[in-house]
Amino acid sequence: MTGTHKKLINDPGTLIEDLIAGMVSAHPDHLTVEGETGRAIVALNGPREGKVGIVVGGGSGHEPAFAGYVGKGLADAAPLGNIFASPSPSQIVDAGFAADGGVGVLFLYGNYTGDVMNFGMAEESLAKQGITARSFVVTDDIASAPLDRKEERRGIAGDFFVFKVAGAAADLGLALEEVEKAATRANEATRTMGVALSACIMPQTGTPNFELPAGEMEIGMGIHGEPGVERGPAGSADEVADRLLAPIIEELELGKGDRVAVLVNGLGSTTLLELYLLHRRTADVLKERGVEIHHSWVGEYCTSLDMEGASVTLMKLDDELTIWLDHPCDTPALRVGASAPKASHAPRKARSRATVSETRKTDIAALKTDGAITPENFRRMMRAAAEAIFTERDRLSELDGKIGDGDHGLTMEIGWKAVLGALDTAGDEATISILCDEIASAFLESVGASAGPLYASAFQSAGGAVADRLNLDAAATVAWIEGMADGIVTRGGACAGDKTMVDAWLPAVEAAKAKLADGGSEVDCLAAAADGAAKGAAATKDMRSGRGRSKKLGDRSVGHVDPGAESAAILLKAWAGATR
């Protein structure tokens, strides 16, 4: 581990596995682990026959969210992703399968690109096994988008209230559609604003995501260590509370006679003393407006590792929301009511999980053999890319810390380590197309986050584009590069100018095609693609982000190179270098 900040961890490579073992050993009466991935934490007294399964989830680093809310009356299961990264589809499927009671499963998570893609892919997988799964994204963060685009907002500490309501509705026996409606009502009634007084420190690197001068604070924080939407002078507890409450009260149209639930949430390193000061002011402001506090929670409920800061969340209550909020639950992080009622449904029936294995057979003799890039050369290219990513890991994470959550280098490192493993286990007879499928699976299963589905789709698409070839000639090399770009665009939906990896991949394709038209060789086309990607990545510095987490920063995203575009340029440069 580099850097000067120490963390009480063991091997960074087993960080999440150690976390899961610690949680289960600390709460043996509440939690267990199910599924082949080892990442699905399941309630011992939650899932049961005839009840809608509730699965909440996201990346690790937000403890006690998300696994801390697994238990009777709340969530049935939670898949744990890597630090600040979505769980992979297979991890989510494990959780969904464990939570299934035969009447459908509802996934609830914050509105982040990686989560949306990975949970969506898990829905598709469960459907193939006869399980109906649906997604609900929480969008409580006022700072991340204006009211007229509230569907773009992030889900942050408001997850707490939405999860609680959905879990209660399911525990009371409501049907899947009704549980969704309950979650919708809770989400519409919930608003959050947060501030940070320091950056968080990634356990794997020991370095802060960004620099925050003394006397200043980030306003409009997410929960992934990213900068806020603006920076300003640090204020007193009362000044901060007033700043956070003003837009919440305005949007919820709170006035005399209204009732609310209050959550004053610490982001990881804020003392209870400070949080109670924020609650004091919150209570005073609400009292002045004639708003009654039904119940308050003060403490750490949805954190950002060790960030100093806090958020304030209000949920405007009606009679039914109040019933769901007060419904008993028993989880490691939240207990409501003296005791949870006994289950009104039978325990889950034993289910055998369907497994589908597909053995791909290729007639080698029918493949085109002209071209300088053989399967062995392709393996060499992939290994060179992995080494380049490992070398640039910290720089990529530093770039990401400027406009994101600071984990892109770590995420790519995890993915490419898995790729190396896939290359080692792939048979000597594997074609380039088959190797691409193996690489896609490695990325998808190891990474989660947005990079997992994006690069999985890229390699699947690229492999399909050259499925008729044993070796790649110049034209096939360009088709392979274009297939990579097509897979990324199709899966993620980003366009040129959105300040994403697409802004490196599309120029790479254009440059490779131009070189091919000039009679360039495989090596020439790869070199041109690398040059195009480098120029495209550099151009993202002057772009305003239009997609992903950095979109929330608005003009603050200008002046920083997109880390996804930069890592794409690194890959293409490594591939080009390995063929010379």
Same domain flag for 382 and 516: yes
Answer yes or no: is pLDDT of 344 > 50.
no
Q: Of 27, 30, 62, 224, which residue is the catalytic one?
A: 224
Position 320 in a domain: no
The answer to whether residue 481 is domain-embedded is yes
Is residue 480 a part of any domain in this protein? yes
> Can you tell me the mean pLDDT for 496-511?
96
Asked if residue 394 is part of any domain, the answer here is yes
**Same domain for 19 and 88?**
yes
Residues 511 and 432 in one domain: yes
Q: Is the pLDDT of residue 340 over 60?
A: no
Q: Flag whether 328 is in a domain.
A: no
Structure confidence at residue 406 (pLDDT): 78
Q: Is the pLDDT of residue 107 over 80?
A: yes
Report pLDDT for 210. 78
Q: How many residues does the chain have?
A: 580
Does 501 reside within a domain? Answer: yes
- pLDDT tens-digit series, residues 548-562: 666 767 777 899 999
- pTM for this predicted structure: 0.85
pLDDT, residue 405, reads 72
CA distance 5 to 515: 48
Beta carbons of 331 and 74 less than 8 angstroms apart? yes
Q: Which structural domain range is residue 245 located in?
A: 194-204+212-312
Nearest residue to 310 (alpha-carbon basis) of 280, 282, 271: 271
**Domain contains 162:** no
Domain containing residue 60: CATH number: 3.40.50.10440
47 and 74 in contact (C-beta within 8 Å)? no
% helix, strand, coil for the chain, step of 5 = 50, 15, 35
Q: Which of 329, 265, 336, 330 is CA-nearest to residue 294?
A: 336
pLDDT of residue 1: 39
Could you tell me the sign of the dihedral formed by the alpha carbons of 468, 574, 544, 193, in that order? positive
Q: What is the residue-averaged pLDDT of the chain? A: 92
What are the CA-CA distances from residue 479 to residues 208, 456, 468, 511 (Å)?
Answer: 40, 17, 12, 12
Q: Higher pLDDT residue, 1 or 324?
A: 324
Q: What is the pLDDT of residues 217-233, one digit of tens each?
A: 999 888 887 778 888 89
- Tens of pLDDT, residue by residue over 137-157, are 999 999 999 999 999 999 999
Q: What is the CATH number of the domain that holds 513?
A: 1.25.40.340
**pLDDT at residue 315, rounded to an integer:** 98
From 295, 312, 329, the end of a domain falls on 312
Are 382 and 461 members of one domain? yes
Q: Is residue 51 predicted with pLDDT exceeding 60?
A: yes
* pLDDT 10s digits, 382-401: 999 999 999 999 999 889 88
Same domain, 516 and 368: yes
For residue 517, give every residue at least 6 positions away whose Cβ sits within 8 Å of its Cβ, in sequence order, or none.
none
pLDDT score of 359: 52
Same domain, yes or no, for 412 and 474? yes
62 counts as catalytic: no
Whole-number pLDDT of residue 549:
62
Q: What is the CATH number for 234?
A: 3.30.1180.20
Q: How many distinct structural domains can be found in the chain?
A: 3
Q: Residue 434's pLDDT band (boundaries 50, 70, 90)?
A: very high
How high is the pLDDT of residue 2? 43
pLDDT reported for residue 389: 97
Segment 277-294 shows an average pLDDT of 98
Per-residue model confidence as pLDDT tens digits over 185-201? 999 999 999 999 998 88
The last residue of a domain, from among 138, 163, 183: 138
Do residues 394 and 495 both lie within one domain?
Answer: yes
In tens, the pLDDT along 305-321 reads: 999 999 999 999 999 99
Whether 170 is covered by a domain: the verdict is no
